[in-house]
Amino acid sequence: MTLSFKPRIFFVVADGSVVTTALPGIAQAREGIDGALTGSRAGDLAYLESAFERHRGGYHGRAPDDVLSEMQADLDLLGQVLNQPHPAGARADLARTAAGIAGLVAIVQHDRGDKGDAFRWFATAEKAAHESGDRRMTAWVLARHAMVPLNYGAPEAAVRIASRARRAAGRTPTAAGALAAAVTARSLAAIGDLRGARMAVTDVRNLVEHLDGQETADTWFGYPGQKHFVHLSQAYTLLGDTEAAYAAQDNALDLTDSPSVMTRALIAMDTAACLRLGGDLSASAEMATGIFDRLPVPYRDGLIRSRAEALHQALHGRPRDLLGQALMT
């Protein structure tokens, strides 16, 4: 029998480098060989772990819709791999990865304002985290989940979910535990439990002092200094402690040369809320209106709008009308 091979095809791109195309059928051939071997699809499992690490880095200037689009292929692969048999250890690792990726989708949906879908993705993430047996992952999912009701008008529900997150986190200082304490502080302040909120603020400050390494990474899975001060800014604003809130806002901005669109807007909305608390309603409304008017279109719904609407409800007279007109555009 004579074997014939098709020649490898090369393309030269504008910069002079050489790019190769995949040989026809090569991917299918590997899948056939791999499927005949015993064990799990190790290549897919390793890839999905790397995908979680890549996606959890945050927006990096991308709009939320763009992030979801970039995740679509990995979500499709995750669904396929989850529906295949795996050894117990590999299945636990896969469940942990699934919890993380589902949690990331939930975060983006939360930021977009799709509350219902955020809840559903977090429920899926929690289910996967429990299956993995990873308490740190479970604590992270629950702490993030608590931010949905907190940021969209249901702080009592947020308190309950954050309490579960703190139990899952335990006493070991972790990013998940610090986030859970921070969300607890904000939630208790929002329902008027000022004593409980201040105790939670003390807890999160103590936890942050003992975080290091990956626990402080500037990702959606870590609890870096900037994120800490953004949470403190909102907690102190809700507590009515404008002096501490202004200090937290300054610290958050000082910790990075180029805060994200969402971070800048949320901090500025807290500043506007503090101006209202200080009695300058006109300055408050003007600042919030300016923030909202300058927002790129993909950011005008969701979390930032929710914060602006809460301020709008607290204003009255011409300042209320001014911000109301901005929200209508």
Hunting for tokens 């290549």 — which residue is that?
43
**Domain layout of the chain by residue ranges:** 44-55+75-133, 134-244, 260-329
Q: How many CB atoms lie within 10 A of CB 109?
A: 22
Q: For residues 216 and 170, is the Cβ–Cβ distance under 8 A?
A: no
Task: Please tell me the distance from the alpha carbon of residue 321 to that of residue 285, in angstroms, as a whole number.
Answer: 9
List, as one string, the DSSP characters of 13-68: -TTS-EEEPPPTTHHHHHHHHHHHSSS--HHHHHHHHHHHHHHTT--TT--HHHHH
Find the Cα–Cα–Cα–Cα dihedral 142, 123, 66, 186, rounded to 10°.
-30
Hunting for tokens 């209320």 — which residue is that?
320
Phi, psi of 185 (to 5 degrees): -60, -45
The 10s digit of each residue's pLDDT in 108-153 is: 999 998 999 999 999 999 999 999 999 999 999 999 999 999 999 9
**What predicted TM-score, i.e. pTM, was given to this entire model?**
0.84
pLDDT at 13: 42
Could you give the percent of the chain with pLDDT greater than 70? 86
Task: Please tell me the distance from the alpha carbon of residue 280 to that of residue 287, in angstroms, as a whole number.
Answer: 11
The 10s digit of each residue's pLDDT in 214-242 is: 999 999 999 999 999 999 999 999 999 99
The 10s digit of each residue's pLDDT in 17-30 is: 444 445 556 556 55
Segment holding 245, helix H or strand E: helix 242-254
